[in-house]
Amino acid sequence: AVTVDAATEQIITAGNDLTLTAAFTLSDGDITSTGGTLILNGALSGTGVLDATGSTLSLNGDLDVELIQSFRN
């Protein structure tokens, strides 16, 4: 499992693809994908920011939308 738990922590994919294969906790910080494909194979939860503007989002696991502070697509 991977955890992003500080406001300064970020994953920025730009136009590249990103596949998360295990449970991922986004307690703070953000994941930003402005192109390419964002594939979530494990559960994603937390209160961080998931910004998939301009990307293809593929959910193969659970997405806890109530806990995600901001979701843009």
Alpha carbon separation from 3 to 10, 36, 73 (Å, rounded): 11, 22, 22
Is a pLDDT exceeding 70 seen at residue 62? Answer: yes
pLDDT of the residue at 45: 83
Least Cα distance to 30 among 44, 9, 59, 55 occurs for 9
pLDDT (tens digit, 9 = 90+) per residue, 39-48? 988 888 888 8
The answer to whether 2 and 19 are in contact (CB under 8 A) is no
The answer to whether 66 and 45 are in contact (CB under 8 A) is no
Q: Is the pTM of this model over 0.85?
A: no
Instruction: Name the average pLDDT for the chain.
Output: 84
